Structure 1
Amino acid sequence: MSAQPDDEQPRGSQELRDILSDVLRASKLPAKKRGRPVKPDVETLTSLSYDQGLLPTELNELVDLVTTPNFLDQASLASIVRNLYPATTVSSDLVVKVVGCLGHGKLKPSLTIQGALLRWLVMIHHIIENQAILSQSYSVLFNLLDTAAIRAQLCHLLALITRRRHVRPYRIQSLLSLSRQTGNDPPLTGLLRVFKDYYPEIIVGEATRGKASAFKHPDPQWRERLDEIQRAHAERAASKSDGPLSGFRVARHRFNGRKSHLIPEVHTSHATENSVTLEEIENVDGFVNKLELIELPNQLIAVLGDPLLQKFLLLRPQAEAHQRASNWLKAYAQDLMGGASDAHLIDVLEMLKSYVSATKDLPPLFLTFFHEYFEIWNGREGKDLILDILSYTPLLNFQELFVGVFKPLEAKALNGTTKSQLDILKFYTHLLQHWSTYLLSLDDKSEHAATSVSDLATHVNDLCLTVLQTSPGVSTHSEILNFFELTATLASDPRLLAHIRIVIPPSALVYILHFSSSLSTLSRLCGILTKYKEGFQKAMATSRTRYTPGYVNEFNGFLMDICNCMWRSRAFNKTDTNSHGCLISQAPLEAMTSYISTLNMSGSLSSLFSLSYSPTFSLSAISYFRGLEDSELERGSGELGARHAGPITRASLSALASKGGLKVSWDDYRLGVLDYLEKQGMPGVGELMNNTMTNLMRRKSGKM
C-alpha cells in the first residue's frame, strides 16, 4: 500500500494504515494460527474509519477483503462494511468489484454481506465518480431479483438508477411475474411504481396497489456522518489546491459543504423516451451535444446550488424556471414572516450568492424575496451576503428599486455607525460596477441607464458627504474615490457615455478631498477629474443640450481652483474665469491672510498650496530636487557651489544658479516634480495639469 506524505494526510491516518495491515494479515490466517484475537483490531479499524473516513487506497483494500474469501468471521466483516466511510468519491472500479461479488457461488461472500454491500451502494450512490457505471450494470443487478435475501436492497438500488431506457417490456413482464410469485413483495411493488412513472399506460394500477417500499434512506445518521467526513476532506483539499470542481456534473450537497438540505438537489423524474436528464451529464461534450434534449428537473430552486443547472438555464433561458424559483423564495420569506425558524437562512443566502456570482445576474423576480424579508430582518443576520447578492441587481428604474429594495435595506442596515455607512457605500460601488459591465455588453441604448445611473450617483453623493463628515480619514477617502473612479470611467468611456448623463461629485466633497493630507487621495482625485474633463469634451462635441452652462461651469470651477492652488500659486483666487476660490468665504480668508503675514514668510497665502509649499507635495518636491543635485555630483562635474534648502520658488532657483548651484528653470522644475510623482505611482496630478493648463497642453502636443 502506497503511503502519502504525512503532511498530506489527516491526523491519525498512519495509525489507520498500520491497523489495516494487521487486519489484512490476520484475514489470511485461520483463527487458531493468529496468535491473538483479531476483533480488537477490527474495532480499532472501524473506529478510525468512522472518525476520519477512508482514502481510495484504504477503501479499495477493505472492499477486496470483504468481497473475496478470507478467514474473518461474519460479524467482523459486517462491522467493516457498516463502517466503509469514503473520504472522497468512489471509483467505478470499486463499484464493479461490489457488483461482481453478488450472486450465488462458492467464492462469493455470504448473502448477508452481499445485502450489506448493496445497502452501502445505496448510501454512497451520490458520490460515485462515474454515475453511469451502475447504469451499465443494470442487467446484472436486475437478474439477481430472484434472490430473496438481497431483493430489498436490490430494488432500492434499482429504483435509484432506473431511467426510461432501462424500462423494457421484458423487464416489466419479469417484475409482474415475480411480484405475483412472491405475493406482491413490497420492494418489488415499489420498483414497479418507479417503472410505472415511465410507462403508466403499460403497467396497470392493479399491479401497484399493494403495500410498497418507500425506499427511504437506510440510515440517515450514517449519511450525516459521511457528509461530515466528505466536508472535512474537501476543506483539507481546498486548503492545498485552488482547482475548481467540475462544473459539468450535477452537484450534491456533500460536495459543497452545505449543512442544510433545504435547497433540494437536482432530480428529474419525468423524462421522455427521447429526452436526457441533467443527472446523466458527465462532461462538457455530453452537455453541449445533448443541450436541446435536456429536461428541466423537478424543483427549479435547485438552480441556486447547482452550477450545471445554472449553465443550462443561461444557454436555454426559460421564464418559467425563474418564476418557479422566485415562488419558492417568496414562500420561504412568507414562512419566515409567519414565525418559522430561520436556521437555514444563511445556507439559502450563501447558495443565492453562489448563483448570482456564477451567472452575474439576479433575476428581478428574486427581489420580491428581499422586499418581504426586510420587513422582519434585524439588519445584522447575513448582512454581508445580502449586500453581495443585491450588488447584482439588474439595471432597472432606480426610483422603483430604491423604494422596493434599497430604502428598506438602508433602513435596517444603517445603524448610525461609520462602518454601516461604508458597507452601504461599498454596496453601491459594486452595484455601479455591475451596471457598467452590463452596459458595455449592450449593442443598443439601455432604456433605464441614463436616469438610473444618474439617480444612483446623486443618491451616493449625499451618502459620501455624510460619511466624509462622520469619519474623515484616508480609508474613508479611499472608499469614496472607489465609487467616483467608476463614475469617471462611465463619463470618459465613449461606449458608456452613450448610455448615461455625467453626474459630477458635490463641490464640497471635491474641495474636502483636495485639501486632504494624503498624496494618494489627491492624486486619485486629480485623475478622476481628468476623466470627467475628457467626458465633458466628448459630450459637448456632440450635443450641448444635455448640460446647462451653469452645470459645466461648476465642474470647470473645480479644475480652475485646483490648478490655481497647485500650479499657478493663486490659491483661493475668485477673479479668474469659472474660479470659485475653493468655496472659502471672505472672513476666514482674511483671517488666514492676516496670520500668514505675521510669520515673516517669503511666501503668501496664495502660494502655500503649490507644489513646493503644500504639506502634501513639499516632501516629494524637495526629494525630486535633491535627487537632481545628487545626480549632478555623481556625474563628476565637481562640487555644487550651493544646495537648495527649500521650499523652491522661481526667485530661489535664480538665486541658486547665481551662487553656483544647480541651474534648473522654474517650468522644468515643476514638470520634473510631476514626472517624479508619476514614477512614485501618483500620476493623477500630472494628468490633470497636462490636460488643463494651456501652456502644458501646447508643450504636450508639441512633443507628439
Structure 2
Amino acid sequence: MSRHQEYPGDYNALHVREAISDVVQASNLTAKQRGDSAKPAVEKLSLWLYDQGLLPEDLGQLIDLVTIPSFLDQANLGNIVRNLYPATPVDDDIVIRVIGCLGHGKLKPSLAIQGALLKWLVMIHHIIDNQAVLSSAYSVLFNLLDTAGIRKQLCHLLALITRRRHVRPYRIQNLLSLSRQTGNDPAVTGLLRVFKDYYPEIIVGEATRAKASAFKHPDPQWRERLDEIQQDHAARSINRAERPLDAFRVARNGANGKGSGLLLEVHTSNATENSVTLEEIESVDGFVKNLERIELPNQLIAVLGDPLLQKLLALKPHAEAHRRASNWLSSYGQDLMSGESGIDPADGLDMLQTYVSSTKTFPPIFFIFFNEYLKIWDGHSGRDFVLTILSYMPLVNFSELFTGIFQPLEAKILDNTINSQLQLFEFYTNLLRRWTIFLASLEQKSAQASTIVADLVAHVNNLCLTIAQTSPTASTHSRILDFYDETAILASNPKLQHHTRIMIPPSPLVYILHFSLSPSILSRLCGILSKYKQGFQKAMATSRSEYTPTYINEFNGFLMDICNCIWRSRAFNNTDVNSHGCLVPRSLSQNLNSYVNDLNMGASLPMLFSLSYSPVLGLLAVSYFRELEEEELERGSDNLGIRHAGPVTRASLNSLINNRGLKLGWDDYRLGVLSYLEKKGMAGVGELMYNTMTNVMKRRSAMMTS
C-alpha cells in the first residue's frame, strides 16, 4: 500500500492525525511552557490507535516521536508504544529506525522505552513486510546483549530470527560467557537452547540445563486486537492485493494470520556443515539448488501445516513423516471427539485441507477421523473444508465409502433445499474428477477401479435426477453436465477405457436435458453422447465386450431419438429400430399431434423439434439463413428477388428457387446450420449428427473436399 494512503471506509483519518498533531506539539514544549499535562492528549491518541490502528505514514511519525528526544515523560511515551497497532504490514524503514535507537547514549530513548520497542518488534514480527531486514541487523542486535535493561526482549527477538547461518563459534562463546556472568539468566539460557538446536554437538555442559525462558508471546490479547485491526483494514481496502503465504519459506505461527498454534513449527537441529535446513530456504532457487542437501526437521508433524515441508516430502517421500502425521491425527481426533482438544475444529479442518490440497494425498487415518467426526458434525461449520478434504479420497471399496463417509455426509448436509443438493453434487463431481486424474496416471490396470467408479456414478445418477427436477434451470443443467463430462472422458479416453466400464446417464435425465431451453445445454449433451458413442464403438470392436445388447440398445435409443428430433423431423417416433420416442407414451404423442394439426401451423408435431422449428435451435437456424441472404445482397446480386419469410423447410427452399430467392439445397442448409452452431461455440450438435448418421458425415466430407 502507498505510504500516503488514506484510511479507507469509515476510518476517520482527520481525527487520528489531529490527535497525533496534538501530541507532537505537546512533545516540543516543556511542561512549564504547556501549562498543563500532555496525558489527556496521549490518552485520546491511544484510544484512536486502539480503535483504528495506524497506516505507515502515521506509524513512522509516532516511531520518530518515541525514538527521538522530546519533552514527553516516560509514562506517556510508554503509553504510545503500547498502542502502536499497525493496520498494514510494517515497512523496513520502521524496523531500521527502531533498531537504530537501541543502545547507550544521550540521544537514545530510555532503556525502558527501548525494551518496550523490542517487545513491540516481537509482537509485530509476523507482519514485517521484509523479514530479511531483521536478519540483516542480527549482528547489531546480538552485540547489544551486554545491556541488561533490554536483554530479555533482545533474547526473545533473536530467538525468533535465528537461523543456522547466524550460529557462529564466536557467538556461541559469547553466549556461554554471558550466561556464566549473569548467573544463568533464563533469557540467555533460552537463546542458548535455540543455538544448541542447530549445533547440539558443540554446545555441551550445564549451560543449557538451567531454567530457560519459554519465549511465549508477550501479550496474546494485544495480538488478538492487532489481528482484528489488520483484518478490518483488509476488508475495507477494496484495492488491497491479497498476501499469500510464501510457499518457499517455512511457515511460522501467525504467518497466515491465524496464529492458532495448532501445529509445531518447522525446526531442524540435526544439521551439519554440509547440510541445509528448511529454515534457511528463502526462495524457489534456494530450494531447488539445495534439494538433495536439505535435512528433515525435528517434528515431522509440521508437514500438516507447512507448504515448504510438504513440497520437500512430495519430491523426497519419507514414510516416517506420514506415519507420524497419522499418529498425530489419531490423537487429535480422539481429543476432538471427547471435547478435550481445546482447539477450534475449524482450525483443524483448515489445516487438513491445506495438507491434502498440497500433497494430493489422503492418509488412511483420515478415513478413521472423518468416520467419527461426521457423527458429531453439525453439517454447517466448516462445510467447505469438509467437502474439499473428502474430495481427495482415494479409490477404495464403494460400500465402505458409502457406509462410512457418503451416507453420514448426506444425512448432515441435505436439508431439502437445492443449495444443499448442489453442494453435495459438486463434491461428487470433484471426487470423480480426481479419480479420473489418478487413473490416468496408472501404468497398469486397476482391478477394482471399474466397480468403484460404476457404483459412484450409479449413486450420483439418482442425485442428478432429483436436482434436474427440483431446479430445472440452465445453470443447474450445466452443473449436471459437468459430472457427465467426467464420465464421458472415462468412456472415450483410450488410456482410461481399460480401467472402467462405460456408465450411461439415466434415460429420463437424458431427455430432460435434451428438452432444455438452452442451446448450450443441448450442444453439451450431444457432445457428451458423441464421446460415449466413440467409447462404445471401440469396446464393441472386440469379441470380449462386456456390454449386453439391452444396454447398448438403451444408449442407441438416445441417439436415435435426438436425431429423429433434430435431423429427421420425426420427433417421438418409436417405430424405428432402437427408438424410444423420447419416453413419451404413444397415446400422448398422438393427442399432441392432433392438437398441433388443429392449430393449422403448417407443420406437424414431429417437425416442431427440427433444426428450423425447434424452440432451442430455431433462432440460430434462421439467423444463419438471414446471414446468407445478407451476404448475397452485399455481393450486389440481382438474383435475390425475395427473402425467406418463415422457418426453412425443404418445400420453402424449392419455392425460393422458383421465385428468385436464395438458392440453397435442403442438405446444404442443414449442414450449414451445424457449421454455424460450431462457430457459435456449440459444436456438440454437429458432432453427434456426424458420428451417428453415416450419410450426414459423407455429405460433410464431400462439402469439405469440394
- Structure 1 length-normalised TM: 0.87
Deviations, residues 195-238 of structure 1 (Å, cap 9, x unaligned): 56566677677556655444333222222222223333444567
| Bigger Cα displacement from structure 2, 376-385 vs 525-534 | 376-385
Q: Return the offset for 1:374.
A: 1.0
User: Retained in 2: the 8 A contact 1:517–1:616?
Assistant: yes
Relative distance call for 1:188 and 1:550 in structure 2 (3 A) is: same
Counting only pairs closer than 5 Å after superposition, residues 241-260 of structure 1 correspond to structure 2 as 241=241, 244-252=244-252, 254-258=254-258
Relative distance call for 1:566 and 1:123 in structure 2 (3 A) is: closer
The residue that corresponds to 2:436 in the other structure is: 436
The residue that corresponds to 2:511 in the other structure is: 511
The residue that corresponds to 1:365 in the other structure is: 365
Q: Return the offset for 1:697.
A: 0.7
Deviations, residues 548-601 of structure 1 (Å, cap 9, x unaligned): 444333322221222122212233334433333334444434444555555556
Counting only pairs closer than 5 Å after superposition, residues 646-661 of structure 1 correspond to structure 2 as 646-661=646-661
Distance in 2, Cα, partners of 1:314 & 1:30: 64
Counting only pairs closer than 5 Å after superposition, residues 121-132 of structure 1 correspond to structure 2 as 121-131=121-131
Relative distance call for 1:342 and 1:376 in structure 2 (3 A) is: farther
Deviations, residues 416-451 of structure 1 (Å, cap 9, x unaligned): 333332222221112222233334445554555433
User: Retained in 2: the 8 A contact 1:363–1:394?
Assistant: no
Counterpart check, 1:380 vs 2:409: no
Relative distance call for 1:116 and 1:271 in structure 2 (3 A) is: farther
| Bigger Cα displacement from structure 2, 229-238 vs 460-469 | 229-238
Relative distance call for 1:237 and 1:327 in structure 2 (3 A) is: farther
Number of residues of Structure 1 aligned to a counterpart in Structure 2 = 702
Relative distance call for 1:88 and 1:317 in structure 2 (3 A) is: farther
The letter of the residue matching 2:414 is L
The residue that corresponds to 1:553 in the other structure is: 553
Relative distance call for 1:576 and 1:649 in structure 2 (3 A) is: same
Counting only pairs closer than 5 Å after superposition, residues 301-700 of structure 1 correspond to structure 2 as 301-340=301-340, 344-446=344-446, 448-541=448-541, 544-596=544-596, 598-599=598-599, 602-629=602-629, 632=632, 637=637, 644-700=644-700
User: What is the DSSP-based 3-state SS (H/G/I as helix, E as strand, rest coil) of the residue aligned with 2:269?
Assistant: coil
Q: Return the offset for 1:281.
A: 2.7
Distance in 1, Cα, partners of 2:588 & 2:31: 101
The letter of the residue matching 2:320 is E
> Structure 1: where are the runs of 5+ without partners?
none
Q: Return the offset for 1:261.
A: 0.8
Q: Return the offset for 1:129.
A: 4.3
Distance in 1, Cα, partners of 2:268 & 2:20: 42
Identity %: 66
User: Retained in 2: the 8 A contact 1:231–1:254?
Assistant: no
Deviations, residues 369-423 of structure 1 (Å, cap 9, x unaligned): 2221111223233223322222232344444433332232123222333333222
The letter of the residue matching 2:153 is Q
User: What is the DSSP-based 3-state SS (H/G/I as helix, E as strand, rest coil) of the residue aligned with 1:579?
Assistant: coil
Q: Return the offset for 1:481.
A: 1.5
User: Retained in 1: the 8 A contact 2:49–2:85?
Assistant: yes
User: Retained in 2: the 8 A contact 1:370–1:405?
Assistant: yes
User: What is the DSSP-based 3-state SS (H/G/I as helix, E as strand, rest coil) of the residue aligned with 1:419?
Assistant: helix
User: What is the DSSP-based 3-state SS (H/G/I as helix, E as strand, rest coil) of the residue aligned with 2:484?
Assistant: helix
Relative distance call for 1:5 and 1:188 in structure 2 (3 A) is: closer
Counterpart check, 1:87 vs 2:87: yes
Relative distance call for 1:652 and 1:249 in structure 2 (3 A) is: same
Relative distance call for 1:93 and 1:312 in structure 2 (3 A) is: farther
The residue that corresponds to 1:268 in the other structure is: 267
Distance in 1, Cα, partners of 2:254 & 2:361: 26
User: Retained in 1: the 8 A contact 2:333–2:369?
Assistant: yes
Relative distance call for 1:604 and 1:117 in structure 2 (3 A) is: closer
Relative distance call for 1:35 and 1:497 in structure 2 (3 A) is: farther
The letter of the residue matching 1:381 is S
User: Retained in 1: the 8 A contact 2:253–2:261?
Assistant: no
The letter of the residue matching 2:332 is Y
Deviations, residues 27-59 of structure 1 (Å, cap 9, x unaligned): 455455568764444334433333333334443
User: Retained in 1: the 8 A contact 2:336–2:345?
Assistant: no
User: What is the DSSP-based 3-state SS (H/G/I as helix, E as strand, rest coil) of the residue aligned with 2:609?
Assistant: coil
The letter of the residue matching 1:675 is S
User: Retained in 2: the 8 A contact 1:264–1:299?
Assistant: no
The letter of the residue matching 1:272 is A
User: Retained in 1: the 8 A contact 2:199–2:269?
Assistant: no
User: What is the DSSP-based 3-state SS (H/G/I as helix, E as strand, rest coil) of the residue aligned with 1:261?
Assistant: coil
Relative distance call for 1:650 and 1:174 in structure 2 (3 A) is: closer
User: Retained in 1: the 8 A contact 2:268–2:278?
Assistant: no
Q: Return the offset for 1:90.
A: 3.9
The letter of the residue matching 1:535 is G
The residue that corresponds to 2:114 in the other structure is: 114
RMSD value, Cα: 3.7
Distance in 1, Cα, partners of 2:155 & 2:254: 24
The residue that corresponds to 2:283 in the other structure is: 283
The letter of the residue matching 1:503 is M
Relative distance call for 1:30 and 1:533 in structure 2 (3 A) is: same
User: What is the DSSP-based 3-state SS (H/G/I as helix, E as strand, rest coil) of the residue aligned with 1:375?
Assistant: helix
Distance in 2, Cα, partners of 1:135 & 1:648: 78
Distance in 1, Cα, partners of 2:531 & 2:134: 62
User: Retained in 2: the 8 A contact 1:564–1:571?
Assistant: yes
User: Retained in 1: the 8 A contact 2:514–2:522?
Assistant: yes
The letter of the residue matching 1:268 is H
Relative distance call for 1:604 and 1:183 in structure 2 (3 A) is: closer
Relative distance call for 1:615 and 1:352 in structure 2 (3 A) is: same
User: What is the DSSP-based 3-state SS (H/G/I as helix, E as strand, rest coil) of the residue aligned with 1:428?
Assistant: helix
User: Retained in 2: the 8 A contact 1:227–1:254?
Assistant: no
Q: Return the offset for 1:453.
A: 2.8
Distance in 2, Cα, partners of 1:249 & 1:77: 36
Distance in 1, Cα, partners of 2:50 & 2:566: 71
| Bigger Cα displacement from structure 2, 402-411 vs 521-530 | 402-411
Relative distance call for 1:116 and 1:584 in structure 2 (3 A) is: closer
User: What is the DSSP-based 3-state SS (H/G/I as helix, E as strand, rest coil) of the residue aligned with 1:438?
Assistant: helix
Deviations, residues 37-86 of structure 1 (Å, cap 9, x unaligned): 64444334433333333334443443344334333322232223222333
Relative distance call for 1:282 and 1:56 in structure 2 (3 A) is: farther
User: What is the DSSP-based 3-state SS (H/G/I as helix, E as strand, rest coil) of the residue aligned with 1:328?
Assistant: helix
Distance in 2, Cα, partners of 1:240 & 1:96: 25
| Bigger Cα displacement from structure 2, 475-484 vs 8-17 | 8-17
Distance in 1, Cα, partners of 2:93 & 2:554: 74
The letter of the residue matching 1:518 is S
Relative distance call for 1:64 and 1:476 in structure 2 (3 A) is: closer
User: What is the DSSP-based 3-state SS (H/G/I as helix, E as strand, rest coil) of the residue aligned with 2:457?
Assistant: helix
Relative distance call for 1:608 and 1:12 in structure 2 (3 A) is: closer
Distance in 2, Cα, partners of 1:283 & 1:585: 68
Q: Return the offset for 1:693.
A: 1.8
The letter of the residue matching 2:69 is P
The letter of the residue matching 2:269 is H
